[in-house]
Amino acid sequence: MFKFMPYLLKTLWRHRARTMLTVSGSAVALFVFCFVGSVQEGLDRLTSQKDSTLIVFQANKFCPATSHLPQDYDQIIRKMPGVREVVPIQVFTNNCRASLDVVVFYGVPAEKVQKIRDFELIEGSWDEFKSNQDAGIVGEAVARRRGLKLGTKFSVGEVKVTVAGIFNSSNKSEEDYVYTHLDFLQRTPGMNLVGTVTQHEVVLNNADDSVRMARAIDDKFRGGPVETDTRTKGVFQASSLSDLIDLIELSHYLGYACVGLMTMLISTTTFMAVQDRIKEHSILQTLGFSGSIVFLLVLAESVLISIGGGVVGTGAAMLTLASSGLSVGAEAVTIAFSPSIKLATAGLTGSLIVGFVAGVLPAMAAARADIVTGLRQA
Amino acid sequence: MLIEVRNLTKSFQKGDETITPLRDVSLDIDEREFVSLMGPSGTGKSTLLNLIAGIDKPTSGTITVNGTEITTISRSRLAKWRAVNVGYIFQTHNLIPVLTAYENVELPLLLLPFNRAERRRRVQIALEAVELLDRASHYPRQLSGGQEQRVGIARAIVTDPRVVVADEPTGDLDSATSSHILELLQRLNSDLGTTLLMVTHDADAAAVAGRQLRLDDGRLISDERNGSGHVVDAPQPKPGKGIHV
């Protein structure tokens, strides 16, 4: 088929307006498909991870602003067998409801951040963070979205933080958070939260123990000053995002609809191209091209258009996802929209399949057309 | 004998009516012959040509070209057979507009097992034969009508086929260009020994060929060689016996 490549490419170029429009349409469809896919992937990353981390929250509370657990619960939990680490966390967010621009502050004892997270500072230093009470380290996505630089002072509500570092993480959702000193966040004017935290993060020795340990922690504080609701981190995050999950599931179908639309668009264009070139295909067959070669030529046109759209759409989606730092969040849990090789592969493979599917019927029509009738066409 | 046509009939339905453009035609054509096929419009000339070129199927009868009976072979095998054995010159040249003259001539060679160097050699020879080597990189829109037709001829001969068929090759050309094209066809026949079968309306064009067949109402009514006429009496020869004069 490579021998026919000049013919194929020149044929597509002959109707460049039509080709470009179809490629553009396909690119938009693939862009939406990848974008929706990234939201789904982000959600899956948050909810399906089998982790050994538990989140202890105040029972019957949902928004971080209303959960107030005694900070010294960490001492009690730490003594329980099977617990490796307990980190008290004060959470502050600018918006508890679903939003595309949620800023979440995690107040954590400074010395524990490196212990429980795999953050890599791409700018700034840990010492600077540890030695300044009002210092914060900012996730790369937040920094990009809000235009934050090293040394920038920024505030959300009453919380005013100086950027001491910008980090990235293998867990892209973490890049949507700002980490500060725990007592700094507790002493934020107007909050008066000293001695309480929003949640405790419990790291277990064994992930298989998570359900049993969650029950044991809740039993421990049942009847105490503040009752707890303990869940694995994945379940906790899924619960926080429950309002969004149905929407995200629905948007998944939107992605598939875009692929269907793209199939119809390419099929229509290829059919039009075949209709325009009935005579040309008859000439080729007169010269000795078999029906199967004509079939493959038309199919190849459809695949080339589709892959063109796939490369542009998937590429644009990956660039946008990588550069925008977009996320959606609710109740201080965020879903990061991030690019991935899996997503890019799905986009390109999808476009390849669409090209084949869209081209089959027009290719059959071209291959089966009667030669003499075709030659008579003006 | 290169081409043997026996009791060829072609009919098709048009609405309620059955049209029979070709009725029980039999003829033989020798290798290296230049045969013209004449007759008024709608007498079956192009139908006969298309059947011999293997792009149409008869209702009944047989066509054997160089020992291969082409009326019974499958559509895909017939395509392969055409690629090797037939060169087709169209009335309106029918070049592919997006390809250069060189690429148009190369097109049939892409179907045959030739490497790039061999293809280049053959295309150059074919373009040289039609005196258009200097226009190899031109697109059809950059060529005159006569030049386009010459590229069409180069495309028809580039595979060195057993038979070249031409469907009114001068039909769209002015008289000066027509003469040039007919001269070229004659030279192909005399110098290269190409077997040619040409459909034409024009008696002068037909006279260039060494043999003239005349069709009327789908029947072969005369078969003449330059200088010696022969009227075909109805009914035509019995199956198996062509009218080779």
pLDDT (tens, 9 = 90+) of chain B, 245 residues, equals 889 999 999 998 888 888 898 999 999 999 999 999 998 888 889 999 999 999 999 999 999 998 899 999 999 999 999 999 999 999 887 899 999 999 999 999 999 999 999 999 999 999 998 888 999 999 999 999 889 999 999 999 999 998 999 998 888 778 888 888 888 888 888 888 889 999 998 888 888 898 999 999 889 899 888 754 444 544 444 443 333 32
Nearest to A3 among B50, B55, B110 (CB): B110
pLDDT at A93 over 90: no
The phi, psi pair for B172, rounded to 5°, reads -105, 15
Q: Give which of A54, A96, A92, A93 is closest to A186, Cα–Cα.
A: A92
How many whole angstroms separate alpha carbon A237 and alpha carbon A51?
A: 12
Complex confidence, ipTM: 0.89
Question: Letter for the amino acid at A313?
Answer: G
Per-residue pLDDT band at A50 (split at 50, 70, 90): low
How many whole angstroms separate alpha carbon B47 and alpha carbon A375?
A: 12
Chain A: residues touching B (Cβ < 8 Å):
3-4, 6-7, 10-11, 13-14, 279-280, 283-293, 371-372, 375
How many whole angstroms separate alpha carbon A317 and alpha carbon A312?
A: 8
- DSSP state string for A50-61: --SEEEEEETT-
Q: Hey, is B218 helix, strand or coil?
A: coil
User: Does residue A38 contact residue A270 with C-beta atoms inside 8 Å?
Assistant: no
User: Would you state the pLDDT for residue A40?
Assistant: 87
b/e per residue, B186-205, with b = 16+ CB within 10 A?
Answer: eebbeeeebbbbbbbebeeb
- Whether the bond between B235 and the residue before it is cis, its omega within 30 degrees of 0, is yes
Two structure tokens written together for B51: 């059947």
Instruction: Compare all CA atoms of chain B with the CA of A277 and give the residue at the minimum distance.
Output: B96
B88, A10: Cβ pair inside 8 Å? no
User: Does residue B61 contact residue B55 with C-beta atoms inside 8 Å?
Assistant: no
Q: What residues contact residue A72 under an 8 Å CB cut-off, 6+ apart?
A: A195
- DSSP state string for A136-201: EEEEHHHHHHHT--TT-EEEETTEEEEEEEEEE-SSGGGGGEEEEEHHHHHT-TTT--TTEESEEE
Q: Identify all chain A residues contacting B56, using CB atoms and an 8 Å cutoff.
A: 371-372
How many whole angstroms separate alpha carbon A162 and alpha carbon A149?
A: 10
B55, A371: Cβ pair inside 8 Å? yes
| Cβ contacts from A onto B, under 8 A | 66
Burial of B228 (0-12, 13-18, 19+ CB in 10 A): exposed
How many whole angstroms separate alpha carbon A34 and alpha carbon A49?
A: 22
> In the predicted model, what is the mean pLDDT of residues A302-313?
96
